[in-house]
A and B are shown apart, each in its own frame.
Chain A
């Protein structure tokens, strides 16, 4: 949709517009980098938190949803809560037999195209508005951050299965992913709780010498 309006991450106002390098991602202003690439990629290895709310999401449900997605060339994950990364970097989560959550990759256009194709919905397919915020928690100390905020043992969590739980007292959807054989955790949260969650996570990250990083480092890679 090419609207007159900009999309906005619910925590965008937490970042000083004069600090770091800003750019645009899917019609939303984002911080591309807070610091040098070297600093940010080091953080990515140790402990980093990144606001990836700008990545468009699409929810669809209904008896015809699965077939329609497949007909559009989307590879669907088997089994409820399983996730499947597409070749272009976009991500598909199966919420139930006939409900899916799709998230755009950093360079892909798939989800946005699908979204426009779908419009208000079609026979047997309903569109589910998905405006939740999402943060990416990465680095070797990511598990420590989770251990301080969540009662789930993520060391045991498979890297292709969604977890619905509570982090820092807030209901969240956690998508563990694996990149370069390193576990990363994308945390989806109701946009209205985004500020609270970000602030809690960031406090802990900073105590553990982690930092906020921009999206550029992923755009370069094309994927989370």
Chain B
């Protein structure tokens, strides 16, 4: 019942959200090599640290980004994606 704060809907229990994984930037598919592409597809940054993650508030259909410590589970901040934050 951890609390996550949706930028639109405010603080709500975690079960009301869908986890969308780490924010990752797609390399230009036209220029990358096959193995660079595979790296993008399959490899992850699983090590301890602060992650920028996609979260989705199910009831309202709101996608947003949370900065979260994947060891302490502390959520540093949440905000709407504005097109630039992914890079």
Q: Which residues of A contact B (CB under 8 A)?
A: 80-81, 151-152, 163-166, 171-173
Contact = CB atoms under 8 A, between A and B. Distances in A.
Interface majority SS (helix, strand, loop, mixed), chain B: loop
A166 B58 contact: yes
A166 B59 contact: yes
Contact of B16 (A80, A81, A165, A173): A165
Chain B interface size, as a band, is 10 to 19
B9 A164 contact: yes
Given A151-B1, A151-B13, A165 B59 contact: yes
A152 B12 contact: yes
Interface majority SS (helix, strand, loop, mixed), chain A: strand
B16 A166 contact: yes
A166 B15 contact: yes
Contacts of B15: 151, 166
B73 to A, nearest CB: 18
Contacts of A171: 58-59
B3 to A, nearest CB: 9
A173 B59 contact: yes
Interface string B1-23: 10000001100110110000000
A165 B8 contact: no
Contacts of A80: 8
Nearest to B60: A164
Interface in B57-73: 57-60
Given A80-B8, A151-B1, A172 B13 contact: no
B1 A164 contact: no
25 contacts: A80-B8, A81-B8, A151-B1, A151-B12, A151-B13, A151-B15, A151-B16, A152-B12, A163-B9, A164-B9, A164-B57, A164-B59, A164-B60, A165-B9, A165-B12, A165-B16, A165-B59, A166-B15, A166-B16, A166-B58, A166-B59, A171-B58, A171-B59, A172-B59, A173-B59
Contacts of B59: 164-166, 171-173
Q: Considering residues B8, B12, B15, B59, which has the most beta carbons from chain A within 10 angstroms of its beta carbon?
A: B59
A97 B57 CA distance: 19
Nearest to A95: B60
A91 to B, nearest CB: 18
Given A151-B15, A152-B12, 19 more contacts: A80-B8, A81-B8, A151-B12, A151-B13, A151-B16, A163-B9, A164-B9, A164-B57, A164-B59, A164-B60, A165-B12, A165-B59, A166-B15, A166-B16, A166-B58, A166-B59, A171-B58, A171-B59, A172-B59
